[in-house]
Amino acid sequence: KPCHLEPSALENVYGLPIKKKDDDNDAMWMAPYYSTIPLERLSDDEQSHRIKTVVISVHGSRGNADDYLCCTNSALPHEDQNPAKSSILLLSPWFAGPKDGPISLANTSATNASVLYWRYYAAPMPNWLPFSFRYGADSINGSVSSFTVLDTLLDVILALKLPHLKRIVLTGHSAGGQYTQRWALLSNHSLLTQYEDWVSSSRAATEAKPLPSLRVVVANPKSYCYLDPRRYQQDSQSFQIPSRWEFLMCPLYNEWTWGLDNTSHSLPTPYKTQALHDVGGIAGLVHRFKYRPVVYLSGHMDVLPNGQCMDHIQGPNRRERSRRYYSYLQNAIYTNETRGGKPVHHRVEVPMVHHDHCLLYQSPKGQLALFGNNLDPRGGGRGETGKEQATQHLRSHVRSRRFDQYEHR
């Protein structure tokens, strides 16, 4: 679909101020972002009274945040595609790399403000994986986690106290999908923890003004962070620890960011270390993850083989990895009893779409994943039970193997 945004929305880059708690100096770090409306204008702009939904889209490895803003805008209902009249605010953080050069910010001229950058290319151990923003690594300058950027952005949105804000949708595609899945697992942000509180107490019913709902839509990532060492084994058609031979061939398969191990001390991520400490270890992460409002969005034709052995051990392609990870949550990590007979998260597969964020978001099923009320864990439609969804995806997994030989050509 064509992009209806004004050129200024795609030309102006704004800076999100981030002040590190342990910084004693006056330095201010800025995380670049694109937006249909600058956040500063919403503090006193009459348009703030129209905003009911905020959508945050995270780019992939190309770093094309402006394109993500444009494609996401075209996925909105037609009446909401004009920012001057829309009830939806769009934001797209830009995790820039040194390749992007100096970035001029439209909302600051402060001489002590420095733009944050992340690594886009492979480096020697331990920081060897490119596109470091996707797993929460610290920036090259400033030592600010990419996950801290999102936490801060959400804090700023909540601090605006938009009077009619009801929901926030966070989505990322490809490397952005890896980013959003790991953030949803690790973050202690109140927009996520409200779901544990909502389940375990009557807090949601007693709060004078409950927080907006949150949905995290993880789209076409190359890999997922598994919660234990098991992976799908074709021979047994179940999730088991890989054989010693498989481990020798791929010793990093369960290291962060493909799992939660840290035995090789590669990919240092202080944000992850702190998150594990805050919840008392991996068991704490596993316990709360099932309550988090995550939707896995997958293109049915995203079947080209890609990645390293750590990715391949999760499945031969992105679509299959999505199916297996969803089945893993329903059948291996959580039981029917521990998930209360309900599905852990949701999954939507879009027919006739490959690895393309625009086609994915603008498809009817993509719009369901982003905005459908029946996927909200706090209410809406009943949806399928965990057993029904898990059975459906396992069946489709078996059926799809007949067609893979043709789709790979």
Question: Is 310 a residue whose pLDDT tops 60?
Answer: yes
Tell whether the torsion through CA atoms of 267, 268, 271 and 275 is positive or negative: positive
Q: Which helix (H) or strand (E) holds 359?
A: helix 357-362
pLDDT of residue 21: 61
Average pLDDT over residues 82-90: 92
Residue 50 contacts by C-beta under 8 Å, 6 or more apart in sequence?
85, 86, 87, 164
pLDDT at site 341: 83
Instruction: Give 325-384 pLDDT, tens digit per residue.
Output: 999 999 999 988 888 788 999 999 999 999 999 999 999 999 999 999 877 766 543 333
Q: Which amino acid is at 251?
A: P
**389 pLDDT exceeds 50?**
no
pLDDT at 214 over 80: yes
* CA pair distance 82, 66, nearest whole angstrom: 16
What DSSP designation does 332 have?
A: I
pLDDT grade for 286, boundaries at 50, 70 and 90: very high
Q: What is the per-residue pLDDT across 69-80, written as a single tens digit (0 to 9) for each?
A: 999 999 998 889
Q: Which of 134, 133, 136 is nearest to 118 (CA)?
A: 133
Instruction: Give 342's DSSP letter.
Output: S
pTM above 0.85, yes or no: yes
What is the rounded CA–CA span in Å between residue 78 and residue 81?
5
